[in-house]
Amino acid sequence: MRKADQTWSIGWADLAILGIAVIWGASYPVTKVALASASVLTVILYRFGLTGLLMSALAWRDLAAISRADLGRGVLLGAILCSIFLAEVAGIALASATNAALIISLSTLLTPMLDYGLSRRLPPLGVAVGAALAWIGIALLAGGATSWSIGDSLLLLAAGLRAVMVVTTKRVMAASTLSSTALTALQANTVAVLTLAVALAMQGPAASLIAAPIRFWASIGFLTLFCTLAAFYVQNTMVRRTSPTRVALLMGTEPLFGLALAHLLIAEPVTTATFMGAALIVGGTFLGIQAETRRIKNGASSQHLLPG
């Protein structure tokens, strides 16, 4: 009976993580809908303004007792997060939601590559091969160098900044006792304040006060409640009930859901090149994840230092 209960629990944890992948995959076409009624800065402002308010209400005790050092760490990470979403949402505005979901998923491979580089170590062969396959997939997805757009470049920049965010968080927060909820609140509020400052400077009060249709507010509500708050809670809760490898592999399905939902929700076309590019990107990502997982299991004793 106990074994059956344990199997059932792990199954539900997997489904919960898979649900987050579906939600984050849906965030790309939903952001497209919001951008049809408002500017990039306005969409970011409302999403993170609401997120900051709600997360602050949940973490007010931790925030009230925050140290100056943790405040500085949170603001730094919030500034990086702001740069990520400025590049990402602007990229979504200029490119397709399908390209956005697939290109952003490269952060899964770029993160270990950056971490190895900063540690002056060579990545495992599987990570390098996976990255090469993913880059070929991007070339197919974009239709070659002549078809590469500014939006695609911004999305690639956002993927790189996501990798910077993960590596920086690991290093900066190592000595911190700040809760994840409080850190998220601090980051969201930093994004909202920085975005508001830029929006007011560039667009004036019109950036924060808009008369938008109901689909805009529904999109912002979905991005805030599901893509940020619910996803954050489920990921941090369910990761304790399943293995890190399973979490990584399940979250690796996000670009596939992004591709499918972009087609279903906003009728973006799906071509043969799109399918081939998606297969190479997702396949390369899975290969990289599995290679990194094996390295962690086998220990770091065989790591090679880079010269210099």
Tell me whether residue 205 is exposed, middle or buried, using C-beta atoms within 10 angstroms of its C-beta: 0 to 12, 13 to 18, 19 or more.
exposed
Q: What percent of the chain has pLDDT over 70?
A: 83
Tokens at residue 78, please? 């919030």
Mean local confidence (pLDDT), 201-206: 78
Mean local confidence (pLDDT), 78-101: 91
Contact 107, 128 (CB under 8 A): no
pLDDT classification of 147: cutoffs 50, 70, 90: low
181/158: higher pLDDT: 158
pLDDT for residue 174 is more than 90: no
Contacts of 84-87 with CB under 8 Å at 24 or more apart are: 84/158, 84/161, 84/162, 84/165, 85/44, 85/48, 85/158, 85/191, 86/40, 86/44, 86/195, 87/154, 87/155, 87/157, 87/158, 87/161
pLDDT classification of 184: cutoffs 50, 70, 90: confident
Contact 99, 151 (CB under 8 A): yes
Q: What is the pLDDT of residue 91?
A: 94
- Average pLDDT over the chain reads 80
Q: What is the pLDDT of residue 178?
A: 82
Q: Scan for tokens 């924060």, then name that residue.
A: 208
Q: What is the pLDDT of residue 240?
A: 54
Q: Where are the domains of the chain?
A: 13-298
- Low-confidence winner among 39-43, 52-56, 215-219, 229-233 (lowest mean pLDDT): 229-233
Q: Which amino acid is at 160?
A: G
Contact 46, 188 (CB under 8 A): no
Tokens at residue 155, please? 């999305």
Q: What is the pLDDT of residue 8?
A: 38
Q: What percent of the chain has pLDDT over 90?
A: 31
CA distance 180 to 84: 19
pLDDT for residue 302 is more than 50: no
Count Cα neighbours of 106 within 13 Å in the Cβ-side half-sphere.
32
Mean local confidence (pLDDT), 156-168: 89
Q: Scan for tokens 């007010």, then name that residue.
A: 60
CA distance 113 to 123: 7
**CB proximity list for 196: less than 8 A, separation 6 or greater:** 45, 49, 207, 208
254-287 CB burial, b ≥16 within 10 A, e <16: bbbbbbbbbbeebebeeeebbeebbebbbebbbb
SS3 of 120, please? Answer: coil
Q: Confirm whether pTM is higher than 0.85.
A: no
Query: What one-character DSSP code corresponds to residue 123?
Result: P
